[in-house]
Structure 1
Amino acid sequence: MEGKMELFDTFAQNLESVNGTCYKVSKNDLAETVAKIYKDNAIASTCMLETDLAKEIGLSDCLKANGITVHTDHIRLNSETDKGGITEVQYGIAELGSVIQASDNVDTRLMAIMPDYYIGIVKGSTIVKTYDDMFDVLAELKPFPKYVGFITGPSRTADIECVGTVGVHGPLQMSIIIVTDL
């Protein structure tokens, strides 16, 4: 487990170097951690998919109990106005602090780029050490998903005068939660 914790620490350091935040929690603490992040950042509404993990931990119910409106359908419509978006991501890359969405569902992409505050949930067992390791994993996917996106920190861009702006092409804030026991 120590090797995994070092991998998680490397992931967290690299994510934080690009202004993302990282949490390392057990599956039992996951729902409350998501709720606390959104409460601490005054996020009153979010969109998310009711995945098997989300159902198992009661994520939607926990958020609602904490006063957060949850939309699990009409994602294209709701992601325009919801301030939060939550997805499970399929992989992480420690050396970059990046997470990877590999999905056929376009709603997962919308939930990661439309809201002001994005939370990605990654299983610790799916974090690899390097970029090259990730491509080895992706090469083995059969069938290959319709969408594969690498997400590294909040959205950043600069204009011709090199004036940096956050949040133009994606979220203003991003947190990744590593579920250490999955």
Structure 2
Amino acid sequence: MSSPSSSVQEAKRALGRRLREIRKDAGITARELAARAGWQGMERQQVLRSGRHRFAMLVEESVLRTVVGDDPEVLAGQLGHLIAVASLPAVSVGIVPMGVPRRLGWPVESFTIYDDEQVNVELVSAHLTVTQPHEIHEYAKAFHALHEIAVYGRQARALITAAIDALG
């Protein structure tokens, strides 16, 4: 029986092969894919890899399957990057599966909790910075509720890989 880390490495290699096929079929270079996917921010990548910070991310499964713009290869690249980032020791990626009953009701707006002093919220018309403790607490409750119904590890990778495969 293979170890979990060798299974992860095998999944990464398989995904890498599939992403290369998609990229080559689209006739774009690896650099062009990186530019389209926004991978030039290497300083941000160093923060993820430094180990000085911990990151917990939740993504709705429907987001994995939503192509914004005209180029599904960009989404494929982003999803491949998500799988790679999810394997980092300081990063936890949870996927909230479609169809799972939730106590929150509707999906919530995109938000980032930095600490117990600040939450950033992305709305259609604005980017908000929340600093009121009772409001921050509401976002922490929402994150916790979504965390409870999210899947992680192998199950999360399977959902992400299925979304990539659905791109064709």
Using structure 1 for the length normalisation, give the TM-score: 0.28
Normalized per residue, the structure richer in helix is 2
> More relative contact order in 1 or in 2 (CA 8 Å, sep 6+)?
1
Normalized per residue, the structure richer in strand is 1
